Structure 1
Amino acid sequence: MKKTITICLFIITNFSFSQTRTITGVVKDVTTLLPVESVSISLIDSNIGTISNEEGKFRITLPENSKAINFSHLYYKLETHVLKGNETEIEIFLEPKSFVLDEVVINQKPGKTLLEEAVDASKSKLEKSLLLTTYYREFINVDSKYTNFSDGIIDYYVKRKNGASDLYVKQSRTFDLKDENASEREKAILSVNLNDVRKAVSNAYSFKMVAQILKSDKYNFGVETKSETGGSSIEIITIEPKENLEDEFIYEGTVTYDFKTKLILDINLRFSPEHKKYSVIHNILIAKVKFNDIVRRASFKIDGDKYVMIYSQVKSNVYLKFGKKINNTFESLCDITTLNYKEGEFDLDKSKKYKESSLFTNGNKYTEEFWKKYDVILLNDAEQKIINTFK
């Protein structure tokens, strides 16, 4: 009984400190002064964190006695900002990492084998028995017009190393463009399952798209080693389609991993532009579907002896014919950011486990303006304008 009470208190007070302060700011490249996206921002000696958006902007809420914040990025030097007095707005300038130039590194193994080893090492290191508190959001665009948005604070209880999770939606909100086709659009979206909120973590943990590529014989794999002047190194696997392929569902992009640990740090994959013309219409359940584009991004962080997912994003562009009213192109953007995590085994209330495939189904269920209070990835100016059109 005491254990259950303690866990419930943890979930309820996960972001509620007796005294807190919120820091907002922007992260820029010190040389170009341009904003830096996807910077991992975390409180030192804590699992609390967030990331910067496309405009380099961020917000993080900290205990009042917090001393410093770390700013880390794959291609920039770690920056530690010591908090001063009662400051609540900061501007951070990151210095690009200096990599050793003209260094030839001979790999005895082919790129595909190196990537297989990185996937195996990463899968084995990702923790199970982990409670990930996340911010999840999803945009739907139909024929170049935004029609739906949802976001929420979701706890994923990861029980197995493949990322299989129970999820508990703590708070959520939704916006829908109300017109005569609104209900048909919702049915269409659910029929092809553009994004399954239940699988948002497991898809990242399983390295699903990378695994599909590795099972295929249709790719070439290049290897580039980048060594910092301080001694640490990363390896970048470049994935390219072989020549003369006339297939659909062909990808290209990069996977970056830490040279020493073989742990994957960054995934950036998408449909090969040269092969989109080979996409054809498929029959899925009662719908006809053509996949025009898919983009997959994910970031992982080595946190001491821990290895955790910090960000995952899927963009998809799909033509969909469904019933008599839906004959449209749907574009979906779905991303999930880890805000906090806690290890252990948890006796959660299974009756409250979320079982729907879409967060839209949960509707508006919130007790506070979580999108303003918690360490969510901030909407950029263009995205905020989209939200305003729904009001």
Structure 2
Amino acid sequence: MSKIIYFFICLLTFTSSFSQQNYVLFLKDSATKEPIQSATITVKNSGFGTVSNDEGAFQIYALNNAEITISHLQYKTTTITLDKIADKTNTIFLDLNTLELEDIIVTKEPIHELLYKAVETSRNKFNKPIVLNTYYREFVKVNDKYTRFTDGLIDYHMSGSKADLIVNQSRAAKLITEDDETLDLASGLDVRHATTKQYTFYTLEKIIFDGKNYKDYDFELKSRIEKSGSEVYIINFKPKEDLKKYLYKGTVVFNPESYLITDVDIASDQTKLEYTKVINILIVKAALLGLRVKSTYKITDAGNYVLAFSTRKGKLKIWNKKKYNETLEYKSDLVVTDFKKDDLNYNRKDVYNDRSLYKRGNKYSDKFWQKNNSMVLTDDEAQIIKKLELESNSVN
């Protein structure tokens, strides 16, 4: 009998040592101790991944002996086993990539043509049909006050040029009271296009290549040797100084051998804000005051090329002579937590067809936001939506 008990104790010990746990960890610069945001974290030999938030925090739901790889354009890529993180603060320090960028590369081919080749190659390389398991989140502010929040677990079934959405769980909150004079405005984002726009490099295409807009920009090409010994190309672009237009600046990183893009970071040039266009939308006028789009892509151990993370931030001024004078801000984040080849056997009746996940409301069976490698809320964001849990004593 004692041998049997001993066997089960050993079995329990072995099982617990390799059980899945939820890890909340923090990334910081090893020199400055400042948090590192928008780092991509992947679990080795799996499709699982997540990204660090503005405070450098991320969560991983994985085996405690799992290896995670942390990558960021400005820092050395780091691989670490979860059970090796002994620090009580659960902090991982990253070293800056101190390798100097080489001199500007001079090519016979115009840099914008190299960029277009990278876009076309990457667009054609994406694995399809594919199911992207994602965590999606959106915040809306009006006149500097948070008004809306929503998040959810969404499967994007991608085939061809479109995606069908299956929303597994979601929650939503109106963050202003009924007697609040602040308008409850929608962000204007379309959750149905949250992955397709990244797979088509929509923003990059519109601002650089539509109507030969590349003529408005100066391009710079540099290369860098990574710690692994591999080379990456970095294309920076910015508006030509003498142009009186509301334009953008950005960075695109790609592999010079495969031409596959790993990072895209585009932001409006605020020095050109005075040239922003005013457009008419029904009974109001609107002007874009700011936009930033950032996406990261990865090649998995199995050679799959997939989206890893995307974020979109925008700021608009909306007004008319009679009633409105509002500043609308929005931020959406999408993390691809896993993926698999799509068998296209999902029920078409379950496809979500609304522009906004907010309309679906609170429909969830567990605290999904604490699992599934969803992006960790910042302290401010956590306070904003804390009432969601306080108002709900039982899970829907």
Q: Quick check: 1:214 aligned with 2:213?
A: no
Taking the aligned partners of 2:87 and 2:338, their CA distance within structure 1 comes to 21
| TM-score in terms of structure 1 length | 0.85
Question: Does the 8 Å contact 1:155/1:167 carry over to 2?
Answer: yes
Shift of 1:345: 2.4
Q: Quick check: 1:251 aligned with 2:238?
A: no
Instruction: Decide which moves more: 168-177 or 350-359.
Output: 168-177
Taking the aligned partners of 2:354 and 2:249, their CA distance within structure 1 comes to 32
The 5 A counterparts of 1:147-296 are 147-160=147-160, 162=161, 164-180=162-178, 185-186=183-184, 188-189=185-186, 194-212=188-206, 213-215=208-210, 216=213, 217-228=215-226, 230-248=228-246, 250-296=247-293
Taking the aligned partners of 1:85 and 1:231, their CA distance within structure 2 comes to 26
Taking the aligned partners of 1:184 and 1:101, their CA distance within structure 2 comes to 48
| TM-score in terms of structure 2 length | 0.84
Give unpaired runs (5+ residues) of structure 1. Answer: 1-17
The one-letter amino acid paired with 1:111 is I
Number of residue pairs matched by the alignment: 366
Change (3 A) 1:175 1:88: farther
Change (3 A) 1:67 1:388: closer
Question: Does the 8 Å contact 1:130/1:343 carry over to 2?
Answer: yes
Question: Does the 8 Å contact 1:132/1:342 carry over to 2?
Answer: yes
Shift of 1:120: 0.8
The one-letter amino acid paired with 1:350 is R
Change (3 A) 1:22 1:108: same
Taking the aligned partners of 2:181 and 2:134, their CA distance within structure 1 comes to 28
Question: Does the 8 Å contact 1:254/1:269 carry over to 2?
Answer: yes
Question: Does the 8 Å contact 1:195/1:358 carry over to 2?
Answer: yes
Partner of 2:359: 361
Taking the aligned partners of 1:159 and 1:102, their CA distance within structure 2 comes to 39
Q: Quick check: 1:71 aligned with 2:66?
A: no
The one-letter amino acid paired with 1:198 is R
CA RMSD of aligned residues (A): 2.7
Q: Deviations over 1:53-102 (max 9, x none)?
A: 122211111146x4422222233333222243897963322233342565
Shift of 1:323: 11
Question: Does the 8 Å contact 2:58/2:375 carry over to 1?
Answer: yes
Taking the aligned partners of 2:157 and 2:114, their CA distance within structure 1 comes to 31
Taking the aligned partners of 1:205 and 1:86, their CA distance within structure 2 comes to 35
Shift of 1:178: 3.7
Taking the aligned partners of 2:358 and 2:292, their CA distance within structure 1 comes to 22
Instruction: Decide which moves more: 380-389 or 364-373.
Output: 380-389
Instruction: Decide which moves more: 272-281 or 293-302.
Output: 272-281
Change (3 A) 1:323 1:357: farther
The one-letter amino acid paired with 1:91 is T
Q: Secondary structure at the match of 2:369?
A: helix
Shift of 1:183: 11
Shift of 1:113: 1.0
Taking the aligned partners of 1:229 and 1:49, their CA distance within structure 2 comes to 21
The one-letter amino acid paired with 2:270 is P
Taking the aligned partners of 1:322 and 1:359, their CA distance within structure 2 comes to 28
Q: Deviations over 1:85-135 (max 9, x none)?
A: 897963322233342565564322221111111101110111111101111
Change (3 A) 1:367 1:322: farther
Taking the aligned partners of 1:87 and 1:226, their CA distance within structure 2 comes to 33
Shift of 1:261: 1.5
Instruction: Decide which moves more: 215-224 or 225-234.
Output: 225-234
Change (3 A) 1:75 1:184: closer
Partner of 1:80: 79
Q: Percent identity?
A: 33
